[in-house]
Amino acid sequence: QVQLVESGGGLVQAGGSLRLACVASGLTFRSYTIGWFRQAPGKEREFVAAVRGNGGSTHYKDSVKGRFTISRENAKATAYLQMNSLKPEDTAVYYCAADRSIILSSLGSADQYDYWGQGTQVTVSS
């Protein structure tokens, strides 16, 4: 059984930082692309960042470029999202997702990922 578990969310002030982690089990982690998505109440789930299996290729939503960094440690079966200079509009539930064979043009499409975590709440106060 594949399991993805997110952690690291919390309440921070605008301008602060959080580091989210996604720990995977039940899969060969290095073979899977990892994506981070977020969903605010009443809004559609939106793409935040993705990293390919070997960590060599990363992709970001335009509004988080320069502030967020996605990375992974395959030996620990863990992916991270370092979030700096947080803004109130970053407030959302953040989800980790994994897929074995997703193509480049689908990296930002939530419905193309096979596996999902339970989410972790990030709240940024002004």
Q: pLDDT tens across 27-36, in order? A: 999 999 999 9
Q: pLDDT tens across 107-120, in order? A: 999 999 999 999 99
Token look-up 């990375």 returns 71
CB atoms within 10 A of CB 126: 8
Mean pLDDT, rounded, for 38-50:
97
Residue 104's contacts (CB-CB under 8 Å, 6 or more residues apart) are none
pLDDT score, position 35: 98
Mean pLDDT, rounded, for 11-35:
98
